[in-house]
């Protein structure tokens, strides 16, 4: 499943696509970078939300990222963590 999210960077809003992949014990978000920062976030950039730690933001591999790239990745991660479970690719909590 693919979703668009909006992030705010330095007072500007950017849209980007997230493709969700449900794995055994995690959700993997494949980030398609916006054209404005495609040179800062590599194509196929992944963020992982472990099932055992659903309250925290998704994690990602920082190796090879510049300081500006890390800021963008952290902004994306925080935006994903604020989405309700059904929009994060997870399952809503049963009442």
Say which residue, 58 or 93, is predicted with more confidence.
Answer: 58
Res. 66: pLDDT tops 90: yes
Q: Give the pLDDT score at 76.
A: 93
Res. 67: pLDDT tops 90: yes
pTM: 0.83
Find out whether 94 and 86 touch, Cβ atoms under 8 Å. no
CA nearest to 75, candidates 2, 19, 26, 11: 11
CA 85 to chain centre: 13
| Tokens at 3, concatenated | 């979703």
| Euclidean distance between CA atoms 58 and 88, whole angstroms | 10
Q: Give the pLDDT score at 88.
A: 63
Q: Which residues are within 8 A (CB) of 23 and not within 5 positions of it... i.e. 6 or more apart? A: none
Q: Tell me, what DSSP letter sits at residue 41?
A: S
Q: Give the pLDDT score at 3.
A: 85
Mind listing the pLDDT tens digit for each residue in 3-61?
888 999 888 899 998 898 888 888 899 999 888 888 888 878 999 988 777 778 899 99
Q: Give the pLDDT score at 24.
A: 84
């Amino acid at each position: 499943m693919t979703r668009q999210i909006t992030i705010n960077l330095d007072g500007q809003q950017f849209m980007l696509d997230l493709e969700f992949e449900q794995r055994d014990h995690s959700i993997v978000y494949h980030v398609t970078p916006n054209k404005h920062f495609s040179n800062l976030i590599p194509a196929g950039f992944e963020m992982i939300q472990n099932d055992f730690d659903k309250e925290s933001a998704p994690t990602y591999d920082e190796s090879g990222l510049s300081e500006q790239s890390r800021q963008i990745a952290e902004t994306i991660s925080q935006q994903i963590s604020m989405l309700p479970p059904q929009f994060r690719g997870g399952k809503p909590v049963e009442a």
